[in-house]
Amino acid sequence: MFSESLILTLTAWVFGLVLAGWILVWLQNDLQYLFPRMHNLALDSVTMVASGVISVLIALIMAKLSVRQVNYD
């Protein structure tokens, strides 16, 4: 159960980081005039590690919840 949850959450984590990177580039290129401090925004390592840790914690919680519902009798 944990491996399935981990695969799903890590896939969502990677997809979210890629999407955030694309949106950040789009904002910096096309809408910079709306946000005066746009050049200060970035995806740094702290953001990536924190979101990765949250993904693993969510996988652990989901695995724990799914194991509680499975009856092994």
Residue ranges of domains in the chain: 2-68
pLDDT, tens digit, 9 for 90 and up, residues 10-67: 999 999 999 999 998 988 888 878 878 888 888 889 989 999 999 999 989 988 888 7
**Which pLDDT value is given to residue 62?**
87
The C-alpha atoms of residue 68 and residue 55 are separated, in whole angstroms, by: 20
**Which pLDDT value is given to residue 18?**
94
| Single pTM value for the model | 0.72
* Residue 73 pLDDT grade (very low, low, confident, very high; cuts 50, 70, 90): low
The rounded radius of gyration (Å) of the Cα atoms in the chain is 18
**Which pLDDT value is given to residue 29?**
86
The C-alpha atoms of residue 53 and residue 34 are separated, in whole angstroms, by: 33
